[in-house]
Amino acid sequence: MLNAFSQSTVLHTLKRSFFCAALFCFSVTAHLIAQPVPPPAPQRPLAQSPLLRNLAVGTETEYLVRLINGDIITGKILEILAKDAIEKELQSAAQQNPTLKDNITPKTSDEAIRFETALGTLTIFAAEILEIIPRKQSYRHNHRLYIMPTAEPISGNAFIGVWELLFAYAGVGITDYVSLTVGRSLIPGILPQEQITLVNCKITPYSTDLDESGNRLFTCIGGNFALVNEANPIGHIFAGATFKGARTSITGQLFYKINEPSLYTIRGMNLFSFSTSYPRGIMGLGLGLDSRLSDRHDVHFIGELWNADVLRPSSSALLLGLRLCNTSLAMDFGVAIVAQPLAIPFVSFVWTPF
């Protein structure tokens, strides 16, 4: 009899649990049905032109647009116009001004962007665009002047170059903090053990925005090691900072010689041989200027002032020149003035393919 009572109790409990679960499921289902179903979000058609894909539309990101006629425009992308929208606008404009009908070509009915510039909003057709990139990526040579590195990192770029057509060098950025550069002279008629070798490591530990107008400050520390002939090692540590404005960057740097010897004899087979003194503990400084010309985006004025020993003003050199550049190639031309005085022309070519 006790077993029958227990079985009845269990069955009753199971029935109550099943009823409660069914009631809960019914309530949840009714609540979901009662909620209005939001309409599907409109899908913006993907741009057909590869140039217009992966662009930040309607944001504060500033872009540089290079047109096929050579003009360069900077501004913000407000909207990407699909081909159908362009055709409707052209048809509407042609109805208001019939003379425009003869000017409508397959190119002008292609995709386009609405581009906000300092002079107003423009509609630029994709067929007229040669290149479009974020403006901060348009000048990838800001990590160096002529000889002196700035405090800005190489970042995700890599480059190869040649200085005075006799010194080959290359550099690579590791994240936004570490920049490595190596170089080797290729002077004809000089033995390999008498060539110049250089390794430079720069770390950019801190950078910050100074204001809302885009002015920035970069700081760096680092070191370099050079062999001027294999028997003449020279090592430095350095620290510097770069102020970066809208068109102009100013760099200051202090460097300190950390190794012996103090007397060096530099040879080049039977072509030359001379001795020079460069003691350990000598501190030097460098100042640099990189200024983009106001009416052009591909020409920069570059200047460097070097002093290898702050106690000897005669150990100074001034380099002045121009840099012609695009997003990949930079060509530097100028003159170096040393204390004798002596003016030496110099040239540098750098390619940043990656």
CATH number for the domain harbouring residue 216: 2.40.160.160
Give the total number of structural domains in the chain: 2
Enumerate the β-bridge partners of residue 255: 238, 284
Whether residue 107 is found in the same domain as residue 165: no
Q: Token digits for 224?
A: 């370099």
- 274 & 185 share domain: yes
Residue 279 lies in a domain: yes
pTM for this predicted structure = 0.73
State whether 249 and 320 are in the same domain.
yes
| 263-268 and 62-67 strand pairing | unpaired
Cα atoms in the Cβ-side hemisphere of radius 13 Å centred on 161? 26
Residues 170 and 145 in one domain: yes
The answer to whether position 27 is within a domain reads no
- Same domain (yes/no): 81, 211: no
Closest CA to 267 of 224, 231, 308: 231
Closest CA to 80 of 116, 46, 114: 114
Same domain, 251 and 346: yes
> Range of 77's domain?
50-135
Do 249 and 344 belong to one domain?
yes
For residues 195 and 155, membership in a common domain is answered with yes
Reference 180, options 189, 171, 167; nearest CA is 171
Between CA 193 and CA 190 the distance in angstroms is: 8
Say yes or no: 175 and 54 in one domain.
no
The answer to the question of residue 287 being in a domain is yes
pLDDT tens string, the chain, 354 residues long: the values are 434 444 555 455 545 554 455 544 444 444 544 455 454 444 444 566 788 888 888 888 889 888 888 788 888 999 888 877 777 776 676 666 666 555 555 555 478 889 998 888 988 888 889 888 888 778 899 999 999 999 999 998 999 999 999 999 999 999 999 999 999 999 998 999 999 999 999 999 999 989 877 789 999 999 999 999 888 999 999 999 999 988 899 999 999 999 988 889 888 887 888 888 899 999 999 999 999 986 667 899 999 999 999 999 888 999 999 999 988 899 999 999 987 778 999 999 999 987
3-state secondary structure of 83: helix
> Closest Cα to residue 348, out of 136, 56, 148?
148
Burial of 343 (0-12, 13-18, 19+ CB in 10 A): exposed
